[in-house]
Structure 1
Amino acid sequence: MTARELDAAGVAGAELRAAYTRCRELNARHGRTYFLATRLLTPGRRPAVHALYGFARWADDIVDSLDSTAGPHARARALDRLDADLARGLAGGTGAEPVVRALADTARRYAIDHHHFADFLAAMRSDLTTVSYATYTDLRRYMHGSAAVIGLQILPVLGTVAPRRQAEPYAAELGVAFQLTNFLRDVGEDLDRGRVYLPEDLLAAHGVDRALLRHCRATGRSEPHVVRALREFASLTRAAYRRAAPGIDLLDPVSRPCIRTAFVLYGGILDAVAGTGYAVLHRRAAVPRRRRALVAADGLVRVTAARTAARLAGRRAVPPAVPPAPRTAARSPRGHEEVT
């Protein structure tokens, strides 16, 4: 299946194909929801999305891996090396890391703005020193680089039926919605890393601080104040989904089922969190397998219909094999236009 995707994408050369394969493996292992949705893209577009995910995951792991014993200075140096490697790759050189080779190739193929990668790495660097955000506005400013630009990177791969600039705000907002969902789901894990992404003013409005979050994490107890704060954060996240939703219809029809599936599944994480009573400090909420299967099946039906429509439209656009007969006096100009 991987070879078929790489062939469809026109990826040649053993080294480059291996780099894309590595990115696909990272996506399959670490991004179950994302990977499932990507399966609904046309084969030729999947490698590019895997490359974008693989690079983001690689950088994120440098910053966030709980298994690493590296301190902030070592992680900063690792990010610097990745940044330098990316600069060489984007300039036409050969990146040392497989994820960089695949990303640079994808950026060239789809003319992705290099500033998006710079903004992303800047956000990753801020994670080495920033452990909280005073306001939601401050958090949104951080998420431009950590989430919004991911949507902007993927948009050229998905394609649009409207000018790309018209679709960009929605793509950026969907990236934000996805990350807000991750922040809510991973409150406990992020706390173990020393970070709290829930804005301090939102927490304070409900009488919550970091010490109380740590207490709940350590004891397994759920405090009403914490639940109310988490519920408000979930409301902010749902608002981001509502703002992003109109952008789905601006995508290439064959790409819409992929994004719609991701939209529904990630939104389902919010429902799963609510279903646990917002116990995110104690366990990670997940969309039930049956629900995932039903959403994926619906996406498959939609993508089959979209691809069929695209093939039929392509056939209608193909000129006839036999040139039409010269127009005679009996044939109207309108009739001539219809046959051509």
Structure 2
Amino acid sequence: MSPSRTAAEERAALVAAARESIARGSKSFATASNLFDRETRERAWLLYAWCRACDDIVDGQDHGHGATAVSDAEARVAIIAEKTTAALVGRVVGDMPFDALRVVAAETGLPPRFAHDLVTGFRLDAEDWRPRSEADLYRYCYHVAGAVGCMMAVVMGVDPADEDTLDRACDLGMAFQLANIARDVEEDDRIGRCYLPDEWLVEMDIPPGQHMKPPFRDRLVVLARRLAARAALHEASARVGAAKLPPRSRWAVLAAAGIYGDIAREVAARGAHAWDHRVTTPKSAKLAWVAKAAVAARRPVRDTPRDPTLWTRPR
């Protein structure tokens, strides 16, 4: 922080920059975040700015667009880890996204383990890691998205000791990432990545590195629909957990679940044409989910036990 600026002025500048980041990086999340109360909304933006910047650094992209293979990915992750650690212990980093993390972590008592778990996810990508089994896939989804769900829960006021609610928050992140993987199969293939488990590819008799080839498109559709089905199960679990949140946070989470869930549903519906054009949720559909979520947030939800067949995050 500049000696000429107060802490309040620094925070305001970080919030403004974070708001710009989410507006550029995710229209879906930006829409949902506007449903939070002001304090939660600003903290969500600050956390997003850090997550977005780390992802961009590792993938050589700008706000999630134009990903390219980078030659120094592991060195980039090392820098991210160093700055993240500094931010979590309250040191001024002098780099907007990491100072945003510093502020939100201090304000919410954010458990450092979740931030470090996300950095582990970036490290997996830097090492060109690929899942061999379905369990590997879920572990990856936790590190790059489930951990973010846990952090967002804390931002929304969930007690870090409330493991059951954190599990539900993790489920929402898992659902989002499974939808991402289904949607981005072709984009990932262009930069030499594949998040479909080797065991799934063997099961469908798809040779390594050939899943985007026309002869295997129908088999790929089966796997994409499997990802969408798994995403739906985690989304349903997260909806139950949302009942534990304050009213406006519940509204925002339910809207985000619907908006992002539509991505997985649309991928499944398009079948072999799912990767002709990038799947997005139209603005009209987003607004419809905002309205539906407002109604759903007022309805009582039966507190059913979490599905024991769902993958559970490490504790």
Report the TM range for the smaller structure's normalisation. 0.7 to 0.9
Residue 237 of structure 2, aligned match among 243, 266, 285: 243
1:271 and 2:265 aligned: yes
2:71 corresponds to: 72
Query: Is residue 2:37 matched to residue 1:42?
Result: yes
Amino acid at match of 2:256: A
Q: Distance in 1 between matches of 2:273 and 2:102?
A: 40
Q: What displacement does 1:87 show? A: 2.0
Write the letter of the residue equivalent to 2:28: T
Q: Do the aligned residues in 2 keep the contact of 1:133 with 1:197 (CA within 8 Å)?
A: yes
Aligned amino acid, residue 62 of structure 1: I
1:335 maps to which residue? none
Q: In the aligned structure 2, how far is the partner of 1:85 from the partner of 1:163? A: 26
CA contact (8 A) 1:148 1:174 kept: yes
TM-fit CA distance, 1:238 = 1.7
- Which residue in 2 is equivalent to 1:166? 164
Give the SS at the match of 2:273.
coil
Distance in 2 between the 1:223 and 1:118 partners? 37
5 Å-filtered alignment, 1:162-311, equals 164-216=162-214, 223-299=217-293
**TM superposition shift of 1:228:** 1.8
Q: Which residue of 2 aligns with 1:17?
A: 12
- Which residue of the other structure, out of 77, 83, 86, is the alignment partner of 1:85? 83
Instruction: Indicate the RMSD between aligned Cα atoms, in angstroms.
Output: 2.5
1:138-186 CA deviation, whole Å, 9 max, x = no partner? 1112222211110111112212499733311111111111111111111
Indicate the residue corresponding to 2:95 in structure 1. Answer: 97
Contact 2:160 2:166 in 1 (8 A): no
C-alpha displacement of 1:127: 0.2
Provide the rounded CA distance (Å) in 2 between the counterparts of 1:261 and 1:37: 6
Aligned residues: 290
Contact 1:40 1:300 in 2 (8 A): no
- C-alpha distance in 1 between matches for 2:27 and 2:178: 17
| Separation in structure 2 between the aligned mates of residue 162 and residue 69 of structure 1, nearest angstrom | 36
Indicate conservation of the 8 Å contact 2:218/2:272, yes or no: no
Aligned to 1:318: none
Alpha-carbon distance in structure 2 between the residues aligned to 1:138 and 1:273? 22
Q: CA deviation at 1:302?
A: 6.9
Report what 1:313 is aligned to.
Answer: none
Q: Give the TM-score normalised by the residue count of structure 2.
A: 0.84
Find the residue that maps to 2:106 and give its secondary structure. helix
Instruction: Report Cα offsets for 1:47-75 as digits up to 9, x if no partner.
Output: 110111111111111122355777332x3
Amino acid at match of 2:71: P
Provide the rounded CA distance (Å) in 1 between the counterparts of 2:36 and 2:277.
Answer: 32
Q: Alignment partner of 1:296: what SS?
A: helix
Q: Is the 8 A contact 1:161 1:251 kept in 2?
A: no
Q: TM-score, normalised by structure 1?
A: 0.78
Cα distance in 1 for partners of 2:35, 2:138 equals: 30
- Quick check: 2:87–2:99 contact (8 Å CA) kept in 1? yes
Distance 1:158 1:89, change over 3 A: same
The percentage of aligned residue pairs carrying the same residue is 26
2: CA distance, partners of 1:13 / 1:160: 25
Deviates more, 1:291-300 or 1:145-154: 291-300
Q: Judge conservation of contact 1:37–1:258 (CA < 8 Å) in 2.
A: yes
CA spacing shift, 1:134–1:195, aligned 2, 3 Å:
same
Q: Is the 8 A contact 1:230 1:278 kept in 2?
A: no
Q: Secondary structure of the equivalent of 1:142? A: helix
How many angstroms does 1:301 deviate by? Answer: 6.4
Aligned pair partner of 2:23 in 20, 28, 31: 28
| Cα gap change, 1:250 to 1:300, in 2 (>3 Å) | closer
Deviations 1:13-56 (CA, angstroms, capped at 9, x unpaired): 33332222212111111111111110100012111101111111
Amino acid of the residue matched to residue 181 of structure 1? A
Tell me whether 36-45 or 244-253 shows the greater mean CA deviation. Answer: 244-253
The runs of at least 4 consecutive aligned structure 1 residues that moved more than 6 Å come to none
* Structure 1 unmatched ranges of 5 or more: 1-10, 307-340
Q: Is the 8 A contact 1:188 1:280 kept in 2?
A: no
Specify the code of the residue in structure 2 equivalent to 1:175: G
Q: Distance in 2 between matches of 1:131 and 1:152?
A: 23
Asked whether the equivalents of residues 80 and 119 of structure 2 are also in contact (C-alpha less than 8 Å), the reply is no
Question: What SS does the aligned partner of 1:54 have?
Answer: helix
Residues 105-142 of structure 1: per-residue CA shift (max 9 Å, x gap)? 10011000011111111110110123421111011122
Counterparts of 1:262 and 1:173, CA distance in 2: 13
